[in-house]
Amino acid sequence: MTVFGRAQARDHKRYLWVLSSLGPAGALLPSQLVRFTGLELFWWIGPIVVLGVIPLLDMAMGIDTRNIRDEDYEALSNDRYYRWCIYVFLPIQFAGLVVAGFMWSSPELKLVDKVGLAATMGFVSGVGINAGHELGHRVEHLERWLSKIALAQSCYGHFYVEHNRGHHARVATPEDPASARFGESLWRFLPRTVLGGFRSALALERIRLSQQGRRWFSRDNHLLQAWSMSAVLFGMLILVFGPVIIPFLILQAIVGIALLETVNYVEHYGLLRGRRADGRYLRCSPRDSWNSDRLVTNVFLFHLQRHSDHHANPGRRYQTLRSSGEAPQLPFGYATMVVLALVPPLWRTVMDRRVLAHYGGDRTLVNNGPQSG
């Protein structure tokens, strides 16, 4: 097939990416589903879909290892259709937050229903961080600002700095707070990565501003920019709906952050980059991130599960990321792995042997923490 004399670029998932907007759209559904079915369980639709429905769909739809053709790379990278699939995510995300805020402020909702609503919005917030992650890797000024906007709901604006300049530089090393160590449970990892990532972002931004001869309290500070957006967003919602909405805003942000960091836990668990003769770490390769080619979660998360190619080639847009035979493969999609991570003995039963198999059974090659360096 040709378009104006040129062969049309092929992407077999092209029209599936529109479905990624179903994530934030889910925040608009709870009240209507409860109204028409009478089932208050639907206040919890976010966790139900992400932790229940998507894993089942992943198993039903299977894996997809197909990659785009090399000759299509440039055309697909520059195709603005893919950018709009992410852009449309943001207004739906914030519309859902406003609707949820209105429902939370209603005295008609029971406490358990309010918690379910906050959990649902927290899952939307977590997926919103992933949208911000994709936008934050781009060089275009607009998309970088949109990345900070996407992070406003979770109050996790420092992720913009730490992920790009910290995590990508230190991934799969003991020095990276976002890389889980072998044998480390999710519950030990979460406080370490949250605090470590925050401290790292502060240090990285302080160094950047100092090198450019700029002050900390300036409009050029990426952290202050991002945090200001959260302050404005939350301030406006509190002004409209009253202080009663504060617990909702805090709870949904905590859930979103926990979801993001749990995915971080899954992505690099136990993996360690090799070292050069001079002691420096080797360049990040596809071997240093866990991959999953489960179709449904990949569409839902903008190819986040092709994480090995993302770290090896962080400039690639989501639609061009490739499945790599060199990358270690997860037994299930991220959604299922998140469920397993919640139960440490189950997680270790599934994952520890896979980590060791990846390194030929040599325990000295895995990420055991600071002592491994």
DSSP state of 271: -
Nearest to 334 by CA among 286, 267, 285: 267
pLDDT at residue 45 in the model: 86
C-alpha distances in Å from residue 182, one per residue of 56, 187, 328, 329: 28, 13, 15, 16
Helix (H) or strand (E) holding 7: strand 6-7
pLDDT tens for the chain, 373 residues: list them.
Answer: 333 334 467 888 898 898 887 767 766 667 677 777 778 888 888 898 889 999 999 999 999 999 989 999 999 999 999 999 999 889 988 988 998 899 899 888 889 999 999 999 999 888 888 888 888 888 888 899 999 999 999 999 999 999 999 999 999 999 999 999 999 999 999 999 999 999 999 999 999 999 999 999 989 999 999 999 999 999 999 999 999 999 999 999 999 999 999 999 999 999 999 999 888 999 999 999 999 999 999 998 889 999 989 998 988 999 999 998 889 999 999 999 999 999 999 999 999 999 999 999 999 999 997 753 3
Listed in sequence order, the residues at least 6 apart from 186 whose beta carbon sits closer than 8 Å to its beta carbon are 180, 262, 265, 341, 342, 344, 347
Phi-psi map region of 157: left, alpha, beta (phi>0 left; psi -120 to 50 alpha): alpha
Listed in sequence order, the residues at least 6 apart from 31 whose beta carbon sits closer than 8 Å to its beta carbon are 99, 103
- Could you tell me the pTM of the whole model? 0.92
Question: Tokens standing for 107?
Answer: 């005295």
Q: Tell me if 93 sits within 8 A of 124, measured CB to CB.
A: yes
Residue 338 amino acid letter: V
Instruction: Look up tokens 């071997």; give the residue.
Output: 287
Please state, in angstroms and rounded to a whole number, the distance separating the CA atoms of residues 166 and 181.
17
Question: Tokens standing for 306?
Answer: 């092709």
Question: Tokens standing for 241?
Answer: 């709906």
Q: Tell me if 373 sits within 8 A of 343, measured CB to CB.
A: no
Residue 315 amino acid letter: G
Question: Tokens standing for 223?
Answer: 């952290």
Q: Would you say the C-alpha torsion 90, 92, 93, 97 has a positive or negative sign?
A: positive
Please state, in angstroms and rounded to a whole number, the distance separating the CA atoms of residues 199 and 197.
6
Backbone angles phi, psi at 55, to 5 degrees: -55, -40
Question: Tokens standing for 98?
Answer: 């406003």
C-alpha distances in Å from residue 258, one per residue of 187, 249, 253, 261, 349: 10, 14, 9, 5, 22
Please state, in angstroms and rounded to a whole number, the distance separating the CA atoms of residues 89 and 318.
15
Listed in sequence order, the residues at least 6 apart from 336 whose beta carbon sits closer than 8 Å to its beta carbon are 55, 58
Neighbours of 216 (CB within 10 A): 13
Residue 362 amino acid letter: D
pLDDT at residue 360 in the model: 94
Nearest to 100 by CA among 112, 123, 117: 117
Write out the DSSP string of 295-308: HHHHHHTTTTT-HH
Please state, in angstroms and rounded to a whole number, the distance separating the CA atoms of residues 110 and 115.
9
Nearest to 150 by CA among 122, 164, 129, 120: 129
Nearest to 74 by CA among 319, 288, 283: 319
